[in-house]
């Protein structure tokens, strides 16, 4: 709510109609605004923006946004993604709203939209997290169709390639530096996608925050492995008084520092989103050690309650998509720590 004095100051400047267009502030301070990880975020942001531009709720925006990525068989996220080392695609997702409600699913198979199942867990059960067979059973009981257990053509090729060595040495999110088309995620030489997650955070016109995260996890992971993405506090965290943050990259290392929650707590202490992401990344680097850290990637993005946003990467190559107007949906290269 605007304080009276502030309102009068704004009135004298003719700035009281905040409405649904972006409000003016210092660079990188917008409302409504939506951010999402990696290049695929451009297409996802478009769908989220359709919700935000008409005054919709951030929660609906972050669900609708990442469903686009989950839908795309030609992408790193969802059923078209790379399988685990036994050849099965297993999906993780979580969602969190402005009231600190949250829902999560992990190790979910044959369901196209884990993010929407996570939302149902949040809204229809007394729990936060369902995994594996139980999560699938719940999804089916909620009317989600059970899809065929088959790999997409790209994933089949990548898996066959991987089987030649069957080396369990995940190379995650080390980007080829060549910039790809905005809406198409970068592809590895072996045919696999080099990142497998989309995280999205949004601030709506009413000033409420929400976030979502959905992933197939690391390609060729051990069966049953779960990363940071469905873990509230690690992959995603929202505090409507402070801000929201979402993570991507090597999940094990993000879990170790409770990545997203750490960023939000740093913003609570007064750090701007980029500075908070950087500080959390410094903790990750310290925990991992520089030599081991060179072999992995991690990326954080955050929005503060006032609409300021930012991100930070462990290494060069992490980008995120920002959208705050019909004609403002663009990629930002995050600064790297190493
Ligand atoms: C995981 N954080 O499962 C995910 C992977 C990821 O782009 O972000 N890939 O560890």
**pLDDT tens-digit readout, 259-288:** 999 999 999 999 999 999 999 999 999 999
Evaluate whether residue 7 is within a structural domain. no
Here the CATH number for the domain that contains residue 82 is: 3.60.20.30
- CA angle centred on 24, ends 21 and 29, rounded to 5°: 95
Separation of CA 271 and ligand 1 centre (Å): 25
What tokens appear for 91 in the block? 């999906």
What span, in angstroms and rounded, lies between the C-alpha atoms of 92 and 226?
Answer: 7
Decide: helix, strand or coil at residue 262. Answer: helix
Q: Which residues pair with 201 in a beta bridge?
A: 35, 211
Evaluate whether residue 320 is within a structural domain. no
- CA angle centred on 202, ends 207 and 76, rounded to 5°: 175
pLDDT, residue 258, reads 98
In the chain, the percentage of residues whose pLDDT exceeds 90 is 72
Do 256 and 234 meet the contact criterion of CB atoms below 8 Å apart?
no
Residue 182: C-alpha distances to residues 99, 173, 193, 212, 320 (Å):
33, 17, 15, 21, 11
Separation of CA 55 and ligand 1 centre (Å): 31
Number of domains in the chain: 1
Torsion of CA 213, 219, 222, 227, to 10 degrees: -20
Cis peptide before 177 (omega within 30 of 0): no
Lowest mean pLDDT among 124-128, 130-134, 173-177, 234-238: 173-177
Binding site residue list for substrate? 225-228, 248-251
Ligand 1 pocket, mutate which of 196, 222, 224, 311 (most atoms under 8 A from CB): 196
Binding site residue list? 225-228, 248-251
Separation of CA 19 and ligand 1 centre (Å): 36
Asked if residue 197 has its Cβ within 6 Å of ligand 1, the reply is yes
What span, in angstroms and rounded, lies between the C-alpha atoms of 211 and 200?
Answer: 6
Q: Say yes or no to pLDDT of 7 above 80.
A: no
Q: Name 290's Cβ contacts closer than 8 Å, sequence gap at least 6.
A: 338
Percent of residues in the chain assigned helix, strand, coil, to nearest 5: 30, 25, 45
Determine the structural domain holding residue 299 and report its residue range.
Answer: 23-314
pLDDT, residue 237, reads 99
Q: Say yes or no to pLDDT of 16 above 80.
A: no
Most confident among 29-33, 40-44, 112-116, 185-189 (mean pLDDT): 112-116
Atom of ligand 1 at shortest distance to CA of 249? 8
pLDDT, residue 169, reads 65
Going by pLDDT thresholds of 50, 70 and 90, the confidence category of residue 137 is: very high
Do 58 and 207 meet the contact criterion of CB atoms below 8 Å apart?
no
Evaluate whether residue 325 is within a structural domain. no
Evaluate whether residue 336 is within a structural domain. no
Residue 218: C-alpha distances to residues 222, 229, 249, 297 (Å):
9, 11, 9, 12
Evaluate whether residue 326 is within a structural domain. no
Residue 12: C-alpha distances to residues 16, 27, 31 (Å):
9, 22, 21
- CA angle centred on 255, ends 254 and 258, rounded to 5°: 90
Query: Average pLDDT of 56-65?
Result: 98
Stated pTM of the model: 0.88
Evaluate whether residue 4 is within a structural domain. no
Evaluate whether residue 331 is within a structural domain. no
Most confident among 5-14, 26-35, 78-87, 245-254 (mean pLDDT): 245-254
The residue whose C-alpha atom lies closest to atom 3 belonging to ligand 1 is 217
Separation of CA 219 and ligand 1 centre (Å): 9
State the catalytic residues: 197
């Amino acid at each position: 709510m605007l304080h009276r004095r502030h309102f009068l100051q704004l009135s004298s400047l003719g700035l009281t109609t905040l409405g649904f267009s972006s409000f003016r502030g210092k660079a990188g301070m917008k409302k409504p605004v939506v951010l999402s990880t990696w290049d695929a975020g451009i297409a996802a942001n478009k769908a989220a923006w359709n919700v935000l531009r008409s005054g919709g709720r951030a929660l609906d925006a972050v669900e609708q946004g990442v469903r686009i990525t989950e839908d795309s068989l030609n992408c790193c996220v969802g059923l078209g993604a790379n399988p685990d080392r036994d050849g099965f695609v297993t999906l993780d997702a979580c969602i969190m709203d402005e009231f600190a409600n949250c829902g999560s699913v992990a190790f979910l198979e044959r369901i196209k939209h884990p993010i929407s199942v996570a939302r149902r867990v949040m809204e229809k059960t007394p729990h936060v997290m369902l995994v594996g067979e139980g999560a699938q059973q719940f999804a089916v009981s909620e009317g989600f169709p059970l899809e065929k257990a088959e790999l997409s053509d790209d994933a089949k090729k990548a898996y066959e390639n991987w089987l030649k060595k069957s080396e369990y040495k995940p190379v995650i999110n080390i980007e080829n530096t060549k910039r790809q088309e905005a809406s198409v995620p970068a592809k590895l030489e072996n045919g696999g996608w080099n990142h497998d997650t989309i995280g999205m955070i949004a601030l709506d016109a009413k000033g409420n925050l929400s976030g979502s995260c959905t992933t197939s996890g690391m390609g060729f992971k051990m069966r049953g492995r779960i990363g940071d993405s469905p873990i509230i506090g690690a992959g995603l965290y929202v505090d409507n008084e402070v801000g929201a943050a979402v993570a991507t990259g090597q999940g094990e290392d993000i879990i170790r520092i409770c990545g997203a929650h750490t960023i939000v707590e740093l913003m609570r202490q007064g750090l701007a989103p980029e500075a908070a992401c950087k500080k959390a990344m410094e903790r990750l680097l310290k925990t991992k050690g520089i030599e081991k850290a060179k072999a992995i990637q991690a990326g954080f993005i955050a929005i503060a309650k006032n609409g300021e946003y930012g991100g930070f990467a462990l290494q060069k190559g992490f980008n995120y998509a920002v959208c705050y107007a019909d004609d403002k949906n663009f990629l930002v290269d995050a600064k790297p720590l190493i």
